[in-house]
Structure 1
C-alpha cells in the first residue's frame, strides 16, 4: 500500500508495478499547476507525484520529464554519456564494451526510476477518474485480469506500456515466415515478447528438417507460439510447445488457434523440456546474459545464461538417436564482451553435444543502422545463428 494526504485526509491505495518497482517512499498530490522543472527535481529525489489534474496534462508532463531526463543523461561524463561509447572499442574512460553495456543499462534504469514517479490512480473497476481520462478498461483487463474492486496506483509510463501492448495485440505482428496475409499474424499479449525480429523466425522456416522431424518436434520456451506455428506450417504433425509463464501459455494457445494449427500443437507448462524425446528440439533462449530489471525483460536478458545452459545441458536426454537440437542465438553478447564464443562452444562440448552445422543471418531492425544508439557498434556487427546440434559421436 502507498499512503498520501489530500485535502487534509489520509488516503491509501494498492501499489501496482508489473516491472516490480518498489513503491515510492513519499507520495504527494500533483496537478496542472506543478511546473515541469519542479516535478523533475522531486522525481529525481524519489518523490511520487500522484496526479489529481487533467489526464492529458499528465501525459504532457511525462513528455517534459523525458526531455529533461534525456538532456541530463547527455551531459559529458554522465552515465548515459559514457554508455554511448563504442561497444566494440574501449570507452573514453578506458573501459571495454562490457562496461559500456553496463553503463547503458544503469542509465536506462535511472531514467525508468525517474519517469516512474508520475503516478495515476486507477479505480477498482479499472476506470481512471481524472478529467479527459481515456477508457482503458479493456487494456487493463488484459494485463491485470478482471476488476476486483481494489483501487490501485500505477506509474503513467507503465499504463502507456499496457495500452501500447493492447494495440499490438489487436493489430498483430506480420510474420512472413508464416505465409501470406492475413493468415500470418502473431498477436502478442502483454508481458510476452513480440517476434519483431523476424530474421530468426525465417531461419527456422528455411533450414531443412532432420529425419523424422515431420512426426514430432519440441519448441522450448514457446512465448507467442510463433516457432511452434512455423514448424506446424512446415508439416510437423505434432509439436510440443513449452513455457513456464501463464501469460505466454495463453498467448501461444490463442495464436495457434487463430492460425488453425492448434490441433497439431500440444502447449504445456514446463521449465524447459517436456517428457520424452524428439527428433527435433528447438529453442530460442534470451540472447543477453544479464539480469532482467523487470519480468517483461526476461525474454531478452538471461542472468548467468541460465536458460541457454539449461537447454544445452538437458538436450542430449531429450533427443532421439540421430536427432537435432536447433539453438537460435544472437552473438550480440560476444560483441558486448558478456560471453565468448569459446565459452559457448565449451558448454556445447561439456553437454556431450557437437555442432552439425550453423546457419547465419544479419539483423534488419532499426537500431542496427542507428549510429546514435549507445550499443551501435555491437548491433552493427551482430549475427543471428541457428546452431544445429547433435549428440557427440
Structure 2
C-alpha cells in the first residue's frame, strides 16, 4: 500500500514532518516557512509566487483575510490579451487558472489527528474533512502537554472548498424536474447546478417504462428523474466510490431507491435495455482535480466508449440518450463531424436531437475570455437507435 506523501519543514530549530493532503494531487511543497498574524500580504504573496509555502500558526480568521489579500494581488496583475484563436484562448485560460490555484494553494493550515484545525477561532471542519478524506485516525492517548498537535497539512484554499462543498451537501441543489426536490452532491461528485440537461431528460419522449440504464450516474439525478417519470427499474452505474454512495443516498432520500439499483461498473451493466442514458464529460481535456473528471474527458474516452458499446446494450428498438454540450466544438477541441462519424461507426443512427441553450450566468459574462464559445453553446439530447433496429421514427441527418 502506498504511503501518504509527507511535508517536511523546520520550526523552532526542530525538524518537523506531517502528512500532506491534497485532493487535486498537488505534490507536497518543498519549502515551508512559518507564518502568523504578523505576516504581511506582500511578503506572503511573493513567497507563494516563488514556490514557498506558508504554514499558518496564527488566528484562523486572519489566515482567511491573508488568502483574500493574496487573491486581490493576483487579480491586479495585468491580464494577457486572449489569443484570437479560441482553442489557444482555452489553453491559456486553463494555464492561468492552474497557476492561480498553485499560488493560492501555498497558504497551509494544520489538521490534528481528529481532523480539526488547532488554530484560534477555527470553525469545526471535522465533518467536512471526514467526508472528503475518510474518517479520522483512531483515538489515542493524550499528547504530552505543550506537544504540537499537527498530524497533517492542507492548503487553506482546499479546506475552504471542503467546507463549501459540505454546505452544498447539507442544503442540496433544487431540481425543478424533480418537483423542486433537492439533490445533495457529495464532495468530488459533480453537482447538477446546470439544470438544462436535466430538463432535457425530463421532457424527451420515453421509448419504454420497463427498464433503463443510467451510465455514469454521479449524484443519481438522471436516474431519479427517470424513476419519477414512471420507469419501473433503472440500473445506475459509476466507478467512483463517492458517486456510488452519493447516488444511493439521493435515491433513498427521494423515495425512488426501490426503482433504482446503483452498481459499480465502468460504463455498462450486463444485459440490454430499451433506454440507455449517458451524460459524459463535455470537454476532451485533462482533469486536474477530482470534480473535474465530470467536466473533462481526455481523448473523449467516455463518450467514445459509450457510443461503441451502446448497440450491444440496446434492445433492437431501444434508444440511447446521449446528453452532450457542443462547447468543445466552439473551442475547436472536437469537430461536429467527428461526433456524427463516431455515431455512424458505432452502427447507430440519429432519431432526433433535442436542444436547449444554457441559462447559467457565465454565458452572459462578456469579461470571460471564453465568452464567445459560452454564448454560442447548445446542450443536446441525441436520441440514438441501432442502425439495424426496427425503428419507425428515424431521422438520420443529425440536425434535429
Fold match by TM threshold 0.5 = yes
What is aligned with 2:16?
11
What CA deviation, in whole Å up to 9, does each residue of 1:292-339 have, x standing for no partner? 011221000111111000000100100001100000000000111100
Residue 111 of structure 1 deviates from its aligned partner by 0.3
Structure 2: gaps of 5 or more residues: 1-5, 139-149, 389-400
What is aligned with 1:198?
195
Equivalents in 1 of 2:131, 2:198: separation in Å?
26
Q: What's the secondary structure of 1:235's corresponding residue? A: coil
Q: Does 2:54 correspond to 1:57?
A: no
What is aligned with 1:292?
287
Greater RCO (CA < 8 Å, at least 6 residues apart) = 1
What is aligned with 1:122?
111
Q: 2:263 aligns with which of 263, 268, 271?
A: 268
Q: Does 2:234 correspond to 1:239?
A: yes
Q: 1:365 aligns with which of 356, 360, 366?
A: 360
Structure 1: gaps of 5 or more residues: 86-90
What is aligned with 1:40?
45
What is aligned with 2:398?
none
What CA deviation, in whole Å up to 9, does each residue of 1:322-375 have, x standing for no partner? 100000000000111100100111111111111110000000001001111111
Residue 9 of structure 1 deviates from its aligned partner by 1.5
Q: 1:142 aligns with which of 115, 131, 146?
A: 131
Residue 135 of structure 1 deviates from its aligned partner by 1.1
When the two structures are superposed, what TM-score results if normalisation uses the length of structure 2? 0.92
Residue 155 of structure 1 deviates from its aligned partner by 0.4
What is aligned with 1:88?
none
Residue 380 of structure 1 deviates from its aligned partner by 0.5
1:201-240 → structure 2 map (5 Å cutoff): 201-210=198-207, 213-240=208-235
Q: Output the aligned Cα RMSD.
A: 1.0
Q: What's the secondary structure of 1:48's corresponding residue? A: strand
Q: 1:352 aligns with which of 329, 332, 347?
A: 347
Equivalents in 2 of 1:293, 1:137: separation in Å?
25
Equivalents in 2 of 1:273, 1:165: separation in Å?
29
Residue 146 of structure 1 deviates from its aligned partner by 1.3
What CA deviation, in whole Å up to 9, does each residue of 1:203-249 have, x standing for no partner? 00001101xx2110000000000000000000000000000000000
What is aligned with 1:186?
183
Q: Does 2:108 correspond to 1:103?
A: no
Equivalents in 1 of 2:253, 2:107: separation in Å?
38
Q: What's the secondary structure of 1:262's corresponding residue? A: coil
Residue 4 of structure 1 deviates from its aligned partner by 1.0
What is aligned with 1:282?
277
Residue 33 of structure 1 deviates from its aligned partner by 1.2
Residue 81 of structure 1 deviates from its aligned partner by 2.5
Equivalents in 2 of 1:296, 1:195: separation in Å?
12
Q: What's the secondary structure of 1:209's corresponding residue? A: coil
Equivalents in 2 of 1:215, 1:13: separation in Å?
54
